[in-house]
Structure 1
Amino acid sequence: MDLNNYLELFIEESKEHIQAINDELLKLEIEPENIDFVQEIFRSAHTLKGMAASMGFDDLASLTHEMENVLDLIRQSEVRINEEIMNVIFTCVDLIDKMVDNIEQGGDGTEDVTEIVWKLQSIQNPSIISDEERMSAHHEAAITKELVIDEFQRSILQEARKLGNHVYEVFVKLDERCVMKSVRAYMVFQATEDLGEIIQTDPAVEQIEEDQFGDSFTLLLVTEHERSKIQAQLTNISEVKEVSVTEITDVEKNRDTLNETDKPIQPKEKQEVNEKKKKMGSKSIRVDIEKLDRLMNLFSEFIIDRGRLEQIARRTQMQDLIETVEHITRISSDLQGLVLNMRMVPVEQVFNRFPRMVRDLAKELNKKVQLVVEGAETELDRTVIDEIGDPLVHLLRNAIDHGLESIEERIANHKPEEGRILLKAYHSGNHVFIEVVDDGRGINRDKVLNKAIERGVITEEESYSLSDQQVYSLIFSSGFSTADKISDISGRGVGLDVVKTKIESLGGSITIDSTPGQGSAFRIQLPLSLSIIYSMLIKVAEETYAIPFNSIVEITTDADNEVYTLHGQKVIQFRGQVVPLIDLKEVFQVPQVESPKGNQPLYIVIVKKGDHTIGLVTDIVLGQQEIVLKPLGRFLHNLPGISGATILGNGEVALIIDTNQFFSEKG
């Protein structure tokens, strides 16, 4: 069997289980007496171990098995959780994560696990290996509980008991130095079948035959012989290190005990919820993201052809064609919603890695931090999800390191010892907003201004006219930092220019609010999707451009608004606000064309970024249209004021205007 076919699925599911373990460990650290969390961690570790063993990643399987043994002792109340044990388990999970990453990169997942295994074993047995029988007992307990029998097998066992036969669980451990374990296991099987009938094995027979198990396995045996004979016959096989035979006297009771490992007792309501989740889960399939990208590209081409058909229908005025195109438009709109929804994934996929990061960072900085996550179910396009993780890491690390005060400083300022960081996502119109809010010291306005003047970002004269928002935005300048000393974590401002650049490359924006002594809020605005967008088509002379709808406030004309000059800048008075005008003909250097109808009023498209508004002057507004965003390619990657291009229904290429570039850094 070619296991490579299952490698991608193994990696995906392993990462899910690692994330689940991390999530539950964080909960367990807060409520160490809550066994439900231990049960969830044990279940994920148990599944992960089985998958690793099946795929032949022995180091990963053995390490997970040792962690599983510790978890088993915890849930059996034989070991009490303390900070040292939590740190060992966290370290173990980090190492497992590293091994899975190595496998994903094409490696074999091998790591030096000697030290961490020793720590895990010392938790299981404080006298560390000196009491081999005790270690063997724990090992046996962990192994034998993995056997789960179905209804058919149970009926066989019940019938066997009625006929006076014995039912045994046989645990066999091979010598660690055994070279051909599967061959030795086959000899054990042969000897066991001479004594009776094997009903069940763990791992499965196929895995044992293919050498996909550790050093031990368990058999469920029905026989007329006494346990001493079984023990003696199997122990005589070369390289069999240990044989443990346990009789099962009550099949029903034993079945419940065995199932307890994988199915902890739950309230009736919780069981019903889980059953519903299972039913829902069975209707889901995994789809490669590349296939979804291909589907989106094909649909994008269809949208372009649909636009062309609409133009042909309007030109020819053929009623049948018009009706057919209208029907195609309705169907394609539904199809578009479906295609886009298939690409939408909850931001939870990004958010769920942050609690662990915050926990580790807080310990490193000796701070108490509570991370509150809201709106994790909010959905974003997969393309955006893949890109937004790093900017959020920057913002969270800055919030912890520089935003939140030390415990002593918070106490002195009559604040709770524990700092609070809110990570929140929510929908608003065609945008998703993500906020990172801390209750720390806030941004020092004067400190930012002085540093900006010192570094030549602004002049002292310019600093007098800047609003608080404009001052705070200065920390996004390249290499800007107000930190008194540079740490390994970061000072607020380090890397924030990268954050801004990344977010704007996604068609988004970022703003800051801050109150000294109370905290800061970073607000990211992102488009729902980057592939198909609604836009307003405009004409500048003979050139057609598209302006994304999400930045447009309103459209007016110079006939409805008096245009006057202020400090050499053309402006209009619009809704009680002075709005500067930008002539697109001048910006894009479009050749002037004489209008046959004489002087026509110019259209002004009012666009907004944050709290700032400007007016884009154009000749004609053609109307709104759904367009497919196409990249310009590597030869035209840095056109001022342009973010991409689209193909219109008539085959014409229209450039897409990036309105954000018309706003100056200082507003």
Structure 2
Amino acid sequence: MDTTHYLEMFLDESREHLQAVNEQLLKLEDQPQDLKIVNEIFRSAHTLKGMAATMGFEDIASLTHQMENVLDLIRNNELAVSTNVIDVCFEAVSVLEEMVREISEGGDGKQDVSLLVTKLKQMGKQPNDNPSLILSKKDKGDFFTPIQFDEYQTAVMLQAKEQGYQVYQLIVRLSDDCLLKGARIFMVFEALDGLGEVIKTIPLVDELEEGQFEQDVTIVFVTNDSENTIQQKIINITDIQSVGCTAIEEIETIPKNDLKRDKITEKQKDSYSVSINHSPTKTIRVNTERIDHLMNLFEEMVIDRGRLEDIAQTEGNHELSEAVEHLTRVSQDLQNMMLSLRMVPIEKVFNRFPKMVRGLAKDLEKKINLQIVGAETELDRTVIDEIGDPLVHLIRNSIDHGIEPPEKRKAQGKPEEGTILLRAFHSGNHVMIEIQDDGAGINREKVIEKAVKSGLFSLEHAESLIDAEVNELIFSSGFSTADQVSDLSGRGVGLDVVRTKIESLGGHILIDSSPGEGSTFSIQLPLTLSILSTLLVSLQDDTYAVPLSSIEETVLLPKESVFQAHNQSVMDFRNKIIPLVDLRKAFELNNQLHDHPLIEKETIAIVIVRKGDKLAGLIVDSFIGQKEVVLKSLGSYLGQIDSISGATILGDGRVSLIIDPNTLIK
């Protein structure tokens, strides 16, 4: 059987199941008596084992099989949940993640898992590897277990019996190599649709639709057909291993005070035959390359839209202008829809951190509580792909440098367990990500000592720095306050890379720290990187674009309001002196400020831009207007040009460079 065309599906679903196992293991450590969590982990591991076996990845199947055995011991009360059990399970998940990653990179996913398998085997006796699959009525034994029904279900079945119908309990078992379990069960219910009425399913309908179950499904069914007819209808469906059928003679009602615990809702009372009238597929998987290609096509349409707007404005044709305005509104709605397709919840990144924090806290012998807020906040997929590593550096920094050891925290009157808050939220056209800890904060004296020793400045100059400027020093290249090199820190790499990466994404990072109380790292990121709202400005005969996300204000400044301070042109902006950057000089269009033609005029056009808490004014020839543009890379030939983040094509066909204000603010 050629399984190549199933590979992408296998990789996607494997990552989802492994992430689910990670999350549930963390919950299990906090709630070791909750068998529902164990069943969730077992279900994910079992599904992964079946998929891996079908695809021929035997090492993955072998390892997940041993995990299943351990989980089975736990849920049968033969093995207690301990730190050692959780550690070994996490170790197994990490190895599984490595094997899945190797497969995604073109490898065969083979690893020597014998040592890990031995660890899992030593946790207790192995359960029976060959459970009975005999489902015939004469040998069913205890396979068919009693089922409790609520009052509604009881009334329906009693009425059906009075009318001459029979109630059956069906056990449908799927084969171990079944890939699309939800689809197979959907086919089972379609087969039953013409024979009678489904009263109850175990698991519930929603779980069946999503394929969140093991191999067995219990169905309570009302019909006037025979057992043989029902079984023959189902057994012919692909991937159905066996069908058991027995008549229900005694109907046990759930007491009213147990109804809430059993979570029976009106929706669940409805038969599955009603539910299947709706499509069971709520989402579809789409290759990201297709979305990227679709986005590229739409970007070309945005460029043509801009050209049509310019033509309509030049021609003065009323009907053409109306048509272009309508096209603009429709394309903007389409643009919002296109951008939403690229938006991904940031939980895709956040989900990796609880396991990481647990491991680092254990290695450093610290107690740390990680709290995550706003994981549902959505961000462009391109930004999501890039922001993971910077966040890893910042969280590791908080764990290593921020949170103190338990005994030190206790001596300071703090709780022994430190807290790291990871929070994401929308703020205008940006997403804010905050990493906050209640640790020691930034030690000003230690930072200054390291900076002076590194030759960044003299001790006399250091004494004049404000706290915000001292905090910024930890982002200097090669800077580290660690006393010795360890696996976590001390090599002088990390935070400088973090700032560089964040600024390359069009964002910036701020630090707020209080000694003894903790630190907060705030990251501001754009929602998307592909289509930008910009302000077009002119410089000589060229047009440049400045992202609106960086613009604080535009000013027509009287020329007498430009001052000189330390050989730097400055202006007074709302009682704050900010530097001015002449873009002609920065881009070597004119070499001297006094050559600037606007000095001859009464007013100077200035764009006030912000980078974090820093402001600067960009001197331009004139303002043209606001425009949505498509960000295009400069390509490998030009490479990276200082102060330019990319280029765009205007409506008249000309190329406009997009200015990166972050690099112009020092």
Match of 1:299 in 2: 298
Aligned partners of 2:555 and 2:606 also within 8 Å: yes
Whole-Å separation in 2 of the counterparts to 1:425 and 1:123: 40
Contact kept, 8 Å, 1:583 with 1:618, in 2: the verdict is yes
Distance 1:248 1:610 in 2: 67
> Is the deviation greater in 590-599 or in 291-300?
590-599
Q: Which amino acid aligns with 1:100?
A: V
- C-alpha spacing 1:655/1:270, structure 2 compared with 1 (3 Å): farther
Aligned to 1:615: 617
Number of the residue aligned with 1:267: 263
Which residue of the partner structure matches residue 226 of structure 1? none
Distance 1:626 1:584, change over 3 A: same
Contact 2:53 2:177 in 1 (8 A): no
8 A contact 2:367–2:406 mirrored in 1: yes
* Superposed displacement of residue 271, structure 1: 8.6
Structure 2 counterpart of 1:508:
507
- DSSP 3-state at the match of 1:109: coil
1:108-143 deviation per Cα after TM superposition (whole angstroms, max 9, x unaligned): 222222222222222231xxxxxxxxx4x53234x7
Aligned to 2:356: 357
Per-residue CA distance 1:263-282 (angstroms, 9 max, x = gap): xx952359969x99998972
Does 2:37 align with 1:37? yes
Whether the 8 Å CA contact 1:585–1:618 is kept in 2: the answer is yes
- The answer to whether residue 77 in structure 2 is matched with residue 77 in structure 1 is yes
Q: Does 2:31 correspond to 1:20?
A: no
Shift of 1:612: 1.4
Between the aligned residues of both structures, percent identity stands at 51
In structure 1, distance between residues paired with 2:447 and 2:598:
55
The answer to whether the 8 A contact 1:644-1:657 is kept is: yes
Pair 269,349 (structure 1): closer, same or farther in 2 beyond 3 Å? farther
Note closer, same or farther for the CA distance 1:248–1:312 as it changes in structure 2 (3 Å cut): closer
For 2:510 and 2:596, the matched residues in 1 are separated by 43
* Partner residue, 1:140: 130
Q: Secondary structure at the match of 1:537?
A: strand
Q: What SS class does the counterpart of residue 283 from structure 1 fall into?
A: coil
Aligned match of 1:604? 606
Q: Distance in 2 between matches of 1:363 and 1:271?
A: 45
In structure 2, give the amino acid aligned to 1:617: I
How big is the shift at 1:639? 2.1
Q: Is the contact made by 2:357 and 2:368 (CA closer than 8 Å) also made in structure 1?
A: yes
Give secondary structure in 2 for the equivalent of 1:545. Answer: strand
Taking the aligned partners of 1:271 and 1:78, their CA distance within structure 2 comes to 37
Q: Give 3-state SS (helix, strand or coil) of 1:107's partner.
A: coil
CA change 1:517–1:201 in 2 (3 A) is closer
Structure 1 counterpart of 2:585 = 586
Structure-2 separation of matches of 1:627 and 1:32: 54
The structural deviation recorded for 1:457 is 1.9
Q: Distance in 2 between matches of 1:277 and 1:533?
A: 43
Classify 1:9/1:393 alpha carbon distance in 2 versus 1 (closer, same or farther; 3 Å).
Answer: same
Q: Distance in 1 between matches of 2:24 and 2:341?
A: 29
Contact 2:303-2:650 at 8 Å conserved across structures? yes
Asked whether the equivalents of residues 507 and 527 of structure 1 are also in contact (C-alpha less than 8 Å), the reply is yes
Of residues 463-472 and 402-411 in structure 1, the stretch that sits farther from structure 2 once superposed is 463-472
Contact 1:561 1:572 in 2 (8 A): no
Deviation at 1:591, TM superposition (A): 5.1
Counterpart amino acid of residue 601 in structure 2:
N
Gaps of 5+ in 2: 144-170, 181-214, 217-242, 253-260
CA distance in 2, matches of 1:203, 1:552: 59
- Please give the secondary structure, in 2, of the residue aligned with 1:32: coil
Q: Deviations over 1:46-82 (max 9, x none)?
A: 1111111221222221221221122122112222212
**Partner Cα distance (1:588, 1:280) in 2:** 58
How far is the alpha carbon of 1:203 from its aligned partner? Answer: 3.1
- The aligned amino acid for 1:320 is E
Q: Specify whether residues 596 and 42 from structure 1 end up closer, same or farther in structure 2 by C-alpha distance, changes over 3 A only.
A: closer
Which deviations, in whole Å up to 9, do the C-alpha atoms of 1:186-242 show, x marking residues without a partner? xxxxxxxxxxxx9967436999xxxxxxxxx99xxxxxxxxxxxxxxxxxxxxxxxx
Which range moved further: 411-420 or 100-109?
100-109
Question: Which residue does the alignment assign to 1:648?
Answer: 650
SS in 1 for 2:424: strand
More deviation in 655-664 or 51-60? 51-60
Matched letter for residue 130 of structure 2 = E
Corresponding residue SS for 1:68? helix
What residue number does 2:176 align with? 203
Counterpart amino acid of 2:4?
N
1:103 maps to 103
Matched to 2:112, the amino acid is D
Structure 2 distance, partners of 1:455, 1:63, is 50
Alignment RMSD: 3.6
Residue 386 of structure 2: aligned partner? 387
In the aligned structure 2, how far is the partner of 1:564 from the partner of 1:283? 62
Question: Which one-letter code corresponds to 1:140 in the other structure?
Answer: N
Cα displacement (A) at 1:322: 1.0
Confirm or deny: 8 A CA contact 1:167 1:249 kept in the other structure. Answer: no
SS of match in other structure, 1:140: coil
Please say if residues 603 and 620 of structure 1, whose CA atoms lie closer than 8 Å, have aligned partners that are also in contact: yes
Q: Which amino acid aligns with 2:648?
A: T
Equivalent residue number for residue 427 of structure 2: 428
Q: 1-side partners of 2:448 and 2:346: how far apart? A: 35
Structure 1: tracts of 5 or more residues without a match: 126-134, 150-156, 171-197, 208-216, 219-246, 257-264
Give the Cα–Cα distance (whole angstroms) in 2 for the partners of residues 539 and 31 of structure 1.
63
Instruction: Indicate whether 1:658 and 2:631 are aligned.
Output: no
Find the aligned partners of 1:201 and 1:272 in 2 and give their Cα distance. 23
Contact 1:545–1:655, Cα closer than 8 Å, also in 2: yes
Aligned residues: 570
Partners of 2:483 and 2:528 in 1: CA distance: 40
Cα deviation, residue 251, structure 1: 6.7
The aligned runs of 1:514-553 (5 Å cut-off) are 514-553=513-552
Alpha-carbon distance in 2 for matches of 1:340, 1:416 = 44
Q: Partner of 1:285: helix, strand, or coil?
A: coil
Matched, 1:68 2:61: no
Give me the TM-score of the superposition, normalised by structure 2.
0.79
Paired position in structure 1 for 2:630 = 628
Q: Deviations over 1:581-610 (max 9, x none)?
A: 111121112259998998362211111111
Contact 1:401 1:491 (8 Å CA) reproduced? no
Q: CA offset at residue 84 of structure 1?
A: 1.9
2:55 and 2:573 map into 1 onto residues whose CA distance is: 67
Q: Is the 8 A contact 2:343 2:380 kept in 1?
A: yes
Structure 2 counterpart of 1:564, one-letter code = F
User: Matches of 2:294 and 2:433 in 1, distance apart?
Assistant: 28
Alpha-carbon offset, residue 473 of structure 1: 0.8
Q: Which aligned segments of 4 or more residues in structure 1 are displaced greater than 4 angstroms?
A: 165-170, 198-201, 204-207, 247-253, 269-273, 275-281, 591-598
Superposed CA deviations along residues 484-511 of structure 1, whole A, max 9, x for unmatched, are: 1111111496411111111111111111
The 8 Å contact of residues 558 and 602 in structure 2, kept in 1 or not, is answered as no
Matched residue type, 2:108: D
